[in-house]
Every structure is written in structure tokens, then in C-alpha cells.
Amino acid sequence: MEKGRVNRKSQRAQRGENGKRGEKEKGKGKILRVDVEALSKKYPIFIGELPKIELKGKVAVITNPKVGGLHLSYLLQRLKGDEVYIVTLPDGEEYKNWESIQYGLDRLFDHKLDRNSTLIAFGGGVIGDMTGFLASIFLRGIKFIQIPTTLLAMVDSSVGGKTGINNRFGKNLVGSFYQPEVVYIDTHFLQTLPPREFRAGMAEIIKMAVMFDRDFFEKIERGSISIEEAIKRAVELKAWVVSEDEKERGVRSVLNYGHTFGHVIENLTNYRKYLHGEAVAMGIAMANRLAEKMGLLTREEGERIENLLRREGLPTYFPVEDPEEFYSHFFLDKKASQNRLKFILPDGIGKFKIVENPPKGVVIETLEEFPKGAKG
């Protein structure tokens, strides 16, 4: 472990400020519970060793070849259903599309799943998003469970019920809000997570800290928090946000800090060059510069955030070839309403401000600070 990075040694959980949570004994370890109280459904998130899961009816585990090869036996040892089927979808953001959804639907019909059946999302964010979408449209909606296997999915996409796919116009433009029955977060899966994907997950944790919790940010900065504690705190914050605003009418939009820029980066690079967390990290750096120009963030605070991202091994510089073209892509984002842009910006560290329709010239000036050919 490099000095200052998140401490990956387990430590006993401490009570947080947001989210309802409790602990119960399981063998020698602890299982933490965080409750999401969304308007459409209340459900628990369990953080700890994966328990025995007994389900009635048919079960389809949706996974990808990599996760299935590494961890499927671990899951199946703990899973019981009337009939259990495995549906394997391609791995990668570029496969988060209608073709994969159609393939998944065909397999569910082949196996004659019905409205008493359950889907299990067993993978990272791509698998989670597609499984949730499949569950929401198959027979007009069946139950599903999230078992995330990447850090990014554990702290972000598995919690909150956002499901969907990409198309040629942008990211996650087709989908639904559809909550799982339960989320199981087991850090066992992080043992085989490639370092690059672990770093991508850290971008989402840092995002949550900058937006909502200065003390959390400073603990990460000092390296005085374990990865288990960081996951718990990020999940508590996400659960609170979803409970307050399930369908992104208000405070939930704050989770898009770094994403407005990051989604354009992903789109311009055809979702192949960068992991989602890497694009978010570069988007955070861009959002910080815009916040500085609008008097919300000092350069010193911006440098602290970007230094922390870099220390965790994340990129903070995307070379913008054409600022006007980049700017035009903002309007393909689902968060643009009636040709009005919305940016989530830090108001110092630990607070946020939602800025609607900032002057185009200021945004273009921000993009011009990231010229192609310059070193980030």
C-alpha cells in the first residue's frame, strides 16, 4: 500500500451520520445493514460475507464470462432456488446495448421464467444496469437482486435502482428506475479485481466525499480509513440520497458531479478507451475548473481534490480537441432539459451547488484549459 492511499485493512465499523444501519454477528465477522427507503420500495443493503440465499421459483443469474469464471462457484454454493440458470452476457460498456438485452430476454423465455422468478445481477455496473433493465421489462417486471463484484458497482450503480443501456446518442439514455429486492456487498470479490478497476471505483467514493462529507474526504486524504469503512460511508450517503430523491428531481442529481463532462468523454471515445470511473475523474477535474471560474472553489481546494484522484492512480486530464464539439455533446445528456444545461459543482469541499445554464463562454473557457497536446 502506498503511503496516504485508502487503507485496505479491515477495521471495525463506526456509526455514520446518514442512512439507517445496524450490525449483526455472522461467525467472526460483522454484517452491516443500510436501508434504502425509496418512495417505490424499501430494501436492505448488506455489507459483509455473502449469506445463504434461498429463493422461491426459478432463478437466473446474469453475469459475464470473467466474473462467472472467477466467482460463480462461490455464489452457487450459497444460492438455492427451484431451478437456477446462468445467462452470460458479453463483458464491457460497448455491449451495454439492445443486442445484449434481446439476447438476455431470449434466454429468459427459453428457460420459461415467470412472474415468480428472480434475476440476480452478478457482476459490475454494466451487468447490474442491464439485469435491472431486463427485470423491469420482462413480463412487465419481476424481482431482481444486486450482487456487485466491482468497487464502483458496490458504492454506486448497485444502489438506487437506475437501470438501462447506451445508444449512439449517449450513455444510459434508455432505461428505467427499478429498485432491487436486496443488495449484497461482499468485499471478497475485490480480491480478484484488477487494480485499474479498483481505482475507477475510488473515483466514485471521492466524488461522494467532495459533495457531502468533508470529514470523509479528509480521512481518505490522510489514508486513515479502510476500504470497508469507505464503502460503508459511500453506501450510507448514496442510500440517504436515494431515499430523499428516488427519481432525480432534486438532490440525487448531485451524484452527477463529474458525470456531465465524463459522459461526453465516454461518448467521444466510444466507451472503449476509459473506464467509467476514469472518465468521471477527468470530469471532476473539469467541473472543478468551472467551479473555480464561478467563484465556488479555490484553486487550492481544486488541487487537493485532483491530487487525491491522481494519488489513487486516476487520470485528471482529457485533451479537448474541439471545445465547440465537446460543448454540443452536453445536450445529448439526459440531464439537459429544454436545451438548458445543469452542472453539479463543488461549493468548497463537502458541499455542492447546482448551477443551471452557466454562460456558454465560461464553459468554453473551461474546456480550453484542457487543450490537446498539453500535458495533464
Catalytic residues, which ones? 140, 162, 204, 238, 248, 252, 256, 259, 263, 276
CB 209 within 8 A of CB 189: no
Query: Which residue do the cell numbers 473506464 mark?
Result: 275
33's grid cell: 445493514
Three-state DSSP class for residue 142: coil
Report, in this order, helix, strand and coil percent for the chain, each rounded to 5: 45, 20, 35
- Phi first, then psi, for residue 47 (nearest 5°) are -115, 115
Please give the Cα distance from 241 to 18 (Å, whole number): 9
Task: Work out the burial of residue 254: count CB atoms within 10 Å of its CB; fewer than 13 is exposed, 13-18 middle, 19 or more buried.
Answer: buried
Contact present, 24 and 47 (Cβ < 8 Å): no
Start-to-end C-alpha separation, the chain = 25
Give the number of C-alpha atoms closer than 13 A to the C-alpha of residue 72, restricted to the C-beta side: 15
Residue with cell 480509513: 225
Largest CA distance in the chain: 60
Q: Please, which residues bridge with residue 354 across strands? A: 344
Residue 330 DSSP SS3: helix
One-letter identity of residue 143: K
User: β-pairing, 53-54 with 79-80?
Assistant: parallel
Check residue 55 and report its DSSP letter: -
Residue with cell 439492445: 98
In the chain, which ranges are continuous DSSP H helix?
65-76, 98-110, 125-137, 151-152, 195-212, 214-222, 227-244, 259-268, 276-293, 299-311, 323-329, 360-368
Three-state SS at 147: strand
Give 10's DSSP letter.
-
